[in-house]
């Protein structure tokens, strides 16, 4: 059983990272092209609309759908009830956004929102149709299929977006192309998942599932609200151009983290849920998960911190130079993301109420810090965000110790190797790049050099985990080549 779960975990992580990095590479290339054509103001306006769409979408994609993953057995009545409720929720939220659009437009002094926000919010309807199918795909650990569907959808979205931008559609290039992504992914996922809703519905059954899902929903709302708070605060306090610089500055760090930390986290919840009756096995999986995540993400973020100016100037041009400092601070904030895996561990054993209370406390502390700091400028707001995120790490350590009897020392030990190796890599890279002129050359030399330095240091400070990763990598690809186990 353990070997089978290990194989499923390896497959899931491989295909989820492949999916996220594949879509990230395509999306990243597209965003580089679009950023050279469009203007910071366009991205500032889009950032505001996405805040409201993303918050509303949490009601559709969280809560009930999380219960589908966690519950061991599901009936047709349960699935159909969730499907119809999600559709109802999506329609109601669509209407609510349309009603409040004039107020939102006035509040942010952006008249164009009166047109853009209603058009953008129709995405919620598509999400209502699609959410249960993507959740069933995750429940079945069908990450390879998800990879295929999303790569195709993002590619088409990119082609459409670039063509529309070239022909002068401006911000509408970003909005219309996003619809192509949703249409394609919805079509293929529904074709693969043969399940269709029956004419059954039970409010009582849905509410029973919501007992678990409500804490996931509220936690997701807190997270998305918290992550959007900076955008709302900056959008209200500054103009759309400044918001555009900030939005683009945090985009690349966030993109890298979503496609590594996010990929592993999405796999860990269903995998940890399968070990919910064996605490020792669960903690072992959790430890490996957070070690792997920090091993991959810490060097990326600190490397990006050192190369931020070259990345912005080479890829996005001088037009986006004001985004450099925002990118650098965002990389440090992103380094705290992997520690949120504690919520997956808590949720997997049905303790979603604990993760909810924990995140609520953390978010309240950080929001207070950001509100106090915004009057001093955007940089101070980001530094306050970083301070709150660091405080959250240590609070989380003690919660995991209390709930799983996993010591703070061992939790710190899980991440100490990647942290030390990454800091030393960044310092050495900074020193070497000081002798190199030209941003293109700094990138061409800095990226491979940073990787070489990091892997060498990892053997010194993280030997046990490095050996584990390499052994599993070799075994995994032998299975891939000889037995076709990833099919």
With cut-offs at 50, 70 and 90, classify the pLDDT of residue 6. low
Q: What is the total residue count of the chain? A: 487
Q: Is 263 a domain residue?
A: yes
Residues 271, 361 within the same domain: yes
Residues 307, 352 within the same domain: yes
For 47-73, what is the mean pLDDT? 77
Residue 192: give the domain boundaries: 38-228
For 360-378, what is the mean pLDDT? 89
Residues 367, 406 within the same domain: yes
Q: What is the DSSP letter of 165?
A: H
Residue 136 has pLDDT above 50, yes or no: yes
With cut-offs at 50, 70 and 90, classify the pLDDT of residue 141. low
Secondary structure of the chain: what % helix, strand, coil (to 5)?
85, 0, 15
Residues 317, 355 within the same domain: yes
Residue 369 has a CB neighbour count (10 Å cut-off) of: 19
For 66-76, what is the mean pLDDT? 69
Residues 349, 402 within the same domain: yes
Q: What is the DSSP letter of 314?
A: I
Specify the pTM: 0.76
For 418-437, what is the mean pLDDT? 93
Q: Is 480 a domain residue?
A: yes
| Number of helices (H), then strands (E), in the chain | 19, 0
Final residue of a structural domain among 194, 228, 262: 228
Residues 210, 315 within the same domain: no
Q: Is 283 a domain residue?
A: yes
Q: Model confidence over 92-124: pLDDT tens digits?
A: 999 999 999 999 999 888 889 999 999 999 988
Residues 153, 257 within the same domain: no
Residues 169, 314 within the same domain: no
Residues 200, 264 within the same domain: no
Final residue of a structural domain among 178, 198, 228: 228
Residues 223, 245 within the same domain: no
**Count of domains forming the chain:** 2
For 255-264, what is the mean pLDDT? 79
For 145-164, what is the mean pLDDT? 85
Q: Report the mean per-residue pLDDT for the chain.
A: 83
Which residue in this structure is represented by tokens 């993109």? 255
Decide: 60 and 130 in contact? Cβ < 8 Å: no
Final residue of a structural domain among 178, 203, 228: 228
Cα(228)–Cα(261) distance, integer angstroms:
19
Q: Model confidence over 451-473: pLDDT tens digits?
A: 999 988 888 776 666 666 666 65
């Amino acid at each position: 059983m353990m070997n089978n779960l290990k194989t499923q975990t390896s497959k899931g992580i491989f295909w989820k990272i492949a999916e996220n990095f594949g879509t990230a590479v395509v999306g990243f290339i597209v965003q580089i092209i679009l950023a050279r054509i469009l203007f910071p103001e366009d991205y500032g306006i889009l950032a505001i609309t996405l805040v409201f769409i993303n918050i509303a979408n949490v009601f559709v994609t969280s809560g009930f759908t999380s219960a589908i993953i966690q519950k061991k057995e599901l009936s047709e009545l349960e699935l159909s009830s969730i499907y119809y409720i999600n559709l109802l929720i999506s329609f109601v939220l669509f209407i609510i956004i349309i009603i409040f659009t004039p107020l939102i437009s006035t509040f942010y002094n952006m008249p164009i929102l009166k047109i853009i926000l209603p058009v953008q919010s129709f995405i919620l309807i598509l999400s209502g149709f699609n959410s249960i199918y993507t959740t069933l795909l995750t429940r079945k650990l069908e990450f390879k299929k998800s990879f295929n569907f999303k790569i195709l959808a993002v590619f088409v979205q990119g082609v459409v977006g670039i063509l529309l931008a070239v022909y002068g559609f401006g911000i509408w290039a970003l909005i219309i192309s996003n619809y192509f992504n949703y249409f394609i992914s919805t079509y293929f996922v529904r074709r693969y998942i043969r399940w269709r809703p029956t004419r059954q519905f039970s409010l009582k059954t849905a509410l029973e599932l919501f007992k678990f899902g409500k804490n996931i929903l509220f936690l997701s709302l807190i997270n998305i609200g918290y992550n959007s708070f900076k955008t709302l605060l900056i959008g209200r306090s500054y103009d759309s151009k400044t918001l555009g610089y900030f939005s683009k500055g945090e985009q690349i760090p966030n993109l890298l983290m979503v496609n590594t930390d996010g990929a592993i986290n999405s796999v860990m919840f269903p995998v940890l849920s399968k070990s919910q009756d064996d605490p020792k096995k669960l903690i072992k999986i959790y430890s490996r998960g957070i070690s792997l995540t920090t091993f991959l993400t810490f060097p990326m973020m600190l490397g990006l911190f050192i190369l931020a100016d070259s990345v912005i100037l080479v890829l996005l041009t001088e037009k986006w130079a004001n985004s450099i400092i925002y990118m650098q601070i965002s990389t440090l904030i992103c380094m705290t993301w992997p520690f949120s895996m504690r919520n997956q561990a808590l949720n997997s054993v049905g303790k979603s109420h604990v993760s909810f209370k924990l995140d609520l406390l953390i978010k309240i502390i950080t929001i207070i810090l950001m509100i106090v700091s915004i009057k001093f400028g955007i940089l101070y707001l980001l530094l306050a965000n970083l301070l709150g995120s660091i405080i959250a790490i240590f609070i989380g350590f003690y919660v995991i110790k209390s709930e799983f009897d996993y010591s703070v020392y061992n939790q710190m030990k899980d991440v100490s190797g990647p942290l030390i190796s990454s800091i030393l890599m960044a310092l050495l890279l900074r020193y070497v790049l000081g002798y190199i002129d030209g941003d293109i050359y700094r990138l061409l030399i800095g990226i491979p050099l940073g990787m070489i330095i990091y892997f060498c240091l990892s053997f010194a400070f993280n030997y046990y985990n490095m050996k584990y990763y390499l052994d599993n990598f070799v075994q995994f690809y032998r299975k891939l080549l000889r037995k076709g186990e990833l099919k």
